[in-house]
Amino acid sequence: MTHYSRLAGTGGYLPGPPVTNDDLVARGINTSDDWIVTRTGIRARHLAAPGQTSCQMATEAALQALDMAGIAAADLDLIIVATSTPDYIFPSTACLLQGALGNRGATAFDVQAVCSGFVYALSIADKFIRSGTHQKALVVGAETFSRILDWQDRGTCVLFGDGAGAVVLEAAEESGILASALHADGSLVKILSVPGQIAHGQVTGDPFLRMEGQAVFKTAVRVLTEVARECCAAANLAPADLDWLIPHQANIRIIEATGKRMGLVSDKVVVTVDRHGNTSAASVPLALNEAVRDGRIRRGQRVLLEGVGGGFTWGALLFEF
């Protein structure tokens, strides 16, 4: 029997009050609201409180998504967390989340694809459900990037924020997720990385996020356009058939360039980067949750999600809500 997966619920969590660009200046960072807004479109971000973890934020987002879906945590049979900022080296954040939710027995694991992580994880969950082995999946993107930023590096520290977003997927007889496409190019490792590790009780290498901004910018616009077209073609749809585009929220100029290349008017593109900054794997599910909960995305509409990030990784997923 053919199984499809459909989105049954969404959730999102942002820690604390917004931290504006002027707040960063007041904290001693040598930048300005004008520079950040002009180059990136970012006006504010949320930052986790000391001790607040990716799993804690994931739990808040997951509970909202489960509530909307009307599904009990105990009934989940698959839990996937996309994160590059896990609470522990091990166990996975997915297992920590499973424990926090009180679920026992579900398949649980993390996906590490940086800012593409949520699109990777949702596509993986869809494949589990389509295979017929699993029926109820929780997919979360959760990040505390503020902990891996070099706050002395104004070229990166102003760009990111913390948060978590979640989706509950369930098996259905009608189509929900229509197509997905995932890619990576390991020759581009160096343009965006945290090139450190823990060994023998010490951090070795560099534990902070390093980025070649212009190389990331150019690569992101190219691959996001390519993968959007690939995903639409796999679903036998044209970009004009989309009701909504939800791209990774890194930079308004990348978002606008991608929308323009796809021929989409800007009011079909969901934007949160102005208020969230770049929350890596949390950015797409946070934007999705916002547009579902404020009534923009309605049942029956077609939505394209897109991720791009370190690896270099990129991917897209097209669903009918």
Catalytic residue numbers read 115, 248, 278
| Smallest gap from residue 21 Cβ to ligand ACO (A) | 9
**Which range touches ligand ACO (CB under 6 A), out of 30-38, 65-73, 90-98, 173-181?**
30-38
Report the distance separating Cα 84 and Cα 315, nearest Å. 17
Does 246 interact with ligand ACO (rule: CB under 6 A)?
no
Does 225 interact with ligand ACO (rule: CB under 6 A)?
no
* Contact with ligand ACO (CB under 6 A) among 71, 108, 125, 192: 192
- Dihedral of the alpha carbons of 301, 304, 305, 307, in degrees to the nearest 10: -170
Does 20 interact with ligand ACO (rule: CB under 6 A)?
no
Joined together, the tokens standing for residue 270 give: 């969901």
* Contact with ligand ACO (CB under 6 A) among 158, 168, 269, 303: 158
**Which range touches ligand ACO (CB under 6 A), out of 1-9, 133-141, 143-151, 210-218?**
210-218
**Which range touches ligand ACO (CB under 6 A), out of 35-43, 72-80, 138-146, 198-206?**
35-43
| Smallest gap from residue 313 Cβ to ligand ACO (A) | 9
User: Cβ closer to ligand ACO: 312 or 319?
Assistant: 312
**Alpha-carbon distances of 75 from 66, 91, 99, 267, rounded to whole Å:** 10, 22, 14, 37
| Nearest alpha-carbon partner for 95 in 81, 116, 85, 83 | 81
Collapsing DSSP to helix, strand or coil, 158 comes out as: coil
Long-range contact list for 185-193, CB < 8 A, 24+ apart?
185/311, 185/312, 186/311, 186/312, 188/215, 188/219, 188/311, 188/312, 189/310, 189/311, 189/312, 191/215, 191/216, 191/219, 191/312, 192/114, 192/216, 192/309, 192/310, 192/311, 192/312, 193/310
95 CB contacts (<8 Å, ≥6 apart)?
108, 109
Does 31 interact with ligand ACO (rule: CB under 6 A)?
yes
Please answer whether residues 212 and 296 qualify as being in contact, where contact means their C-beta atoms are separated by less than 8 angstroms: no
Number of residues that bind ligand ACO (CB under 6 A): 23
Does 34 interact with ligand ACO (rule: CB under 6 A)?
no
CA 67 to chain CA centroid, nearest Å: 20
**Which range touches ligand ACO (CB under 6 A), out of 36-44, 54-62, 161-169, 179-187?**
36-44
221 CB contacts (<8 Å, ≥6 apart)?
254, 257, 258, 261
Does 251 interact with ligand ACO (rule: CB under 6 A)?
yes
* Contact with ligand ACO (CB under 6 A) among 155, 203, 233, 266: 155
262 CB contacts (<8 Å, ≥6 apart)?
225, 228, 229, 239, 245
**Which range touches ligand ACO (CB under 6 A), out of 58-66, 104-112, 130-138, 154-162?**
154-162
Does 38 interact with ligand ACO (rule: CB under 6 A)?
no
Does 213 interact with ligand ACO (rule: CB under 6 A)?
yes
Please answer whether residues 114 and 311 qualify as being in contact, where contact means their C-beta atoms are separated by less than 8 angstroms: yes
Does 278 interact with ligand ACO (rule: CB under 6 A)?
yes
Does 115 interact with ligand ACO (rule: CB under 6 A)?
yes
Does 90 interact with ligand ACO (rule: CB under 6 A)?
no
* Contact with ligand ACO (CB under 6 A) among 8, 250, 303, 318: 250
Does 222 interact with ligand ACO (rule: CB under 6 A)?
no
Count of positions (residues) in the chain: 321
Contacts with ligand ACO, residue ranges (CB under 6 A): 31, 35-36, 39-40, 115, 154-155, 158-159, 192, 211, 213-214, 216-217, 220, 248, 250-251, 278, 308-309
